[in-house]
Amino acid sequence: MFILQHYAAAVLFCVITMLCWGSWANTQKLAAGTWRFELFYWDYVIGILLLTLLFAFTIGSTGTAGRSFIADLQQADNANLFSAFIGGVVFNAANILLVAAIAIAGMSVAFPVGIGIALVLGVVINYIDQPQGNPVLLFSGVALVAAAIVLNAAAYRKMSAGNKATSIKGLALSVIAGLLMGFFYRFVAKAMFPDFAVPEPGKLSPYTAMVLFAIGILASNFIFNTYIMYRPFTGTPVSYKDYFKGSSRNHFTGVLGGIVWCIGMSFSIIAAGKAGAAISYGLGQGATVVAAIWGIYIWKEFRHAPKGTAMLLNMMLLLYIAGLALIIYAR
Q: What pLDDT is stored for residue 64 in this prediction?
A: 78
For every residue of 235-293, DSSP letters joined together read S----HHHHHT--HHHHHHHHHHHHHHHHHHHHHHHHHHHH-HHHHHHHHTTHHHHHHH
Q: Which of 109-113, 258-262, 304-308 has the highest mean pLDDT?
A: 258-262
User: Is 13 among the domain residues?
Assistant: yes
The more confident residue out of 84 and 118 is: 84
Residue 153 structural domain = 7-329
User: Is 1 among the domain residues?
Assistant: no
Structure pTM? 0.86
Query: Residue 295: pLDDT band by 50, 70, 90 thresholds?
Result: confident
Average pLDDT, the chain: 89
> Bridge partners of 204?
192
Query: Residue 126: pLDDT band by 50, 70, 90 thresholds?
Result: confident
Q: What pLDDT is stored for residue 77 in this prediction?
A: 96
Q: What pLDDT is stored for residue 11 in this prediction?
A: 86
Give pLDDT tens digits for 130-175.
Answer: 787 889 998 998 899 888 888 887 887 777 766 655 668 888 899 9
Number of domains in the chain: 1
47 with 313: CB under 8 angstroms? no
Return d(Cα 123, Cα 22) in angstroms, integer.
Answer: 18
Q: What pLDDT is stored for residue 41 in this prediction?
A: 96
For every residue of 316-327, DSSP letters joined together read HHHHHHHHHHHH
**Segment among 160-169, 202-211, 269-278, 279-288 with least mean pLDDT:** 160-169
Query: Residue 88: pLDDT band by 50, 70, 90 thresholds?
Result: very high
Name the residue among 257, 47, 80, 271 with its Cα closest to residue 72.
80
Alpha-carbon torsion (27, 275, 114, 141), positive or negative: negative
Q: What pLDDT is stored for residue 44 in this prediction?
A: 97
User: Is 60 among the domain residues?
Assistant: yes
User: Is 83 among the domain residues?
Assistant: yes
User: Is 2 among the domain residues?
Assistant: no
